[in-house]
Chains A and B, each alone.
Chain A
Amino acid sequence: MHIPDGFLNAAAMGTTYVISAGGVANAIRVARDKIGEKHIPMMGILAAFVFAAQMLNFPVAGGTSGHVIGAALVAILLGPWAAVLVMSCVLIAQSLIFQDGGLLALGANIFNMGIVASFGAYYLYRLTDSLLGDNRRTKLVAGFVAAWGSVLLASIACALELALSGTSPLAVVLPAMAGIHVLIGIGEGFITIAVLSLVMSTRADLLRLQRV
């Protein structure tokens, strides 16, 4: 879902740059207060995982592929602000080094896949987890819902930006983006809970880190 340059107009790029810069600045402030010794390697590993996992496009219906965003996994394990930091670093590196996602659209990509996906996943996870009760199985169900929802929300944000930029009418681009990402989100859901259960069974203590 990396937006290249050319898709968005100046207003959409400018607005999302300002919001994303503010979001990253606040993420650093929150992290400074809450981050502990164990968060450091965990954040590094999750950034490495998100980058590698995003390279693995899986086929979806009709000649389309999808890849995980990864924000949900990071937000569930470390909290939404930590996820904003990790996702921003991944997206900045992808744009600067790998020419994936435009430089001018970087603010929008951080907004969609960093901020919207992270906070969407975090609150969906907490909501689902509190509705279902707290055990291993419900954590995985909540993880699936959060991951799936985070992809859908990010795709809606992307569609809104495209529509506001006059690139494609909202009535066209919103159902198209949401429709395909409802499917891609299923992949995100399965991969997220696979990693969550791997962490649960090998290092359960990492699920009890303070959320940032």
Chain B
Amino acid sequence: MNNKKWWLIALVFCLALATISPLASSSPDGLEKVAEDKDFIDVAEGAPFEIVADYIFPGIDNEALATILAGWLGTLVLFAIVYGLAWLIKSKKGKTTTEHY
């Protein structure tokens, strides 16, 4: 398998994980459960704005589909942002070598 193909398969693998996200457990996570049991869940405050709140893509009636779309969006956005950031950092490589030894 050549390298380019491996990266592509890896990204498709991540998108496949996002695709099965509607199957995820909807029980409260560790922190939420502790907050419920120990009675401080009510002090949580909502966000001042909502974009794709709770991993539900807005404007789509089918909740499973809305979750999958949110998952694909996040997966692709994070790949692009972190790839771009790493590329940017590498392109600045060596400019500060005098500060480091």
Q: Which residues of A contact B (CB under 8 A)?
A: 1-7, 28-29, 31-33, 35-37, 39-41, 43-53, 55-60, 62-67, 85-86, 89-90, 93-94, 96-100, 102-103, 155, 158, 162, 167-168, 172-173, 176-177, 180-181, 184, 202-203
Contacts and interface: CB of A to CB of B under 8 A. Distances in A.
Contacts of B17: 49, 52-53, 55-56
B47 A103 contact: yes
A32 B96 contact: yes
Given A52-B15, A177-B34, A6 B54 contact: no
B26 interface: yes
A7 B92 contact: no
Contacts of A39: 86, 90
B97 interface: yes
A66 B33 CA distance: 10
Closest 7 CB pairs of A and B: A44-B83, A47-B82, A6-B45, A65-B25, A52-B17, A48-B79, A65-B27
A35 B30 contact: no
Contact of B79 (A3, A44, A57, A63): A44
A168 B85 CA distance: 38
A31 B86 contact: yes
8 contacts: A33-B96, A39-B86, A48-B78, A64-B27, A85-B86, A100-B55, A155-B31, A168-B38
Nearest to B29: A65
B interface residue count range (under 10 / 10 to 19 / 20 to 34 / 35 or more): 35 or more
A41 to B, nearest CB: 5
A154 B40 CA distance: 19
A180 B23 CA distance: 22
Nearest to A63: B27
A33 B97 contact: yes
A63 B79 CA distance: 33
Contacts of B90: 32, 35-37, 39-40
Nearest to B33: A64
B30 A184 contact: yes
Nearest to B31: A1
Interface centre among B48, B71, B79, B86 (most CB of A within 10 A): B86
A188 B97 CA distance: 37
B27 A33 contact: no
Interface in B22-75: 23-31, 33-35, 37-38, 40, 43-48, 50-55, 67, 70-71, 73-75
A7 B28 contact: no
A55 B71 contact: yes
Contacts of A181: 30
A47 B28 contact: no
Contacts of A89: 78, 81-82, 85
A176 B87 contact: no
A102 B45 contact: yes
A45 B11 contact: yes
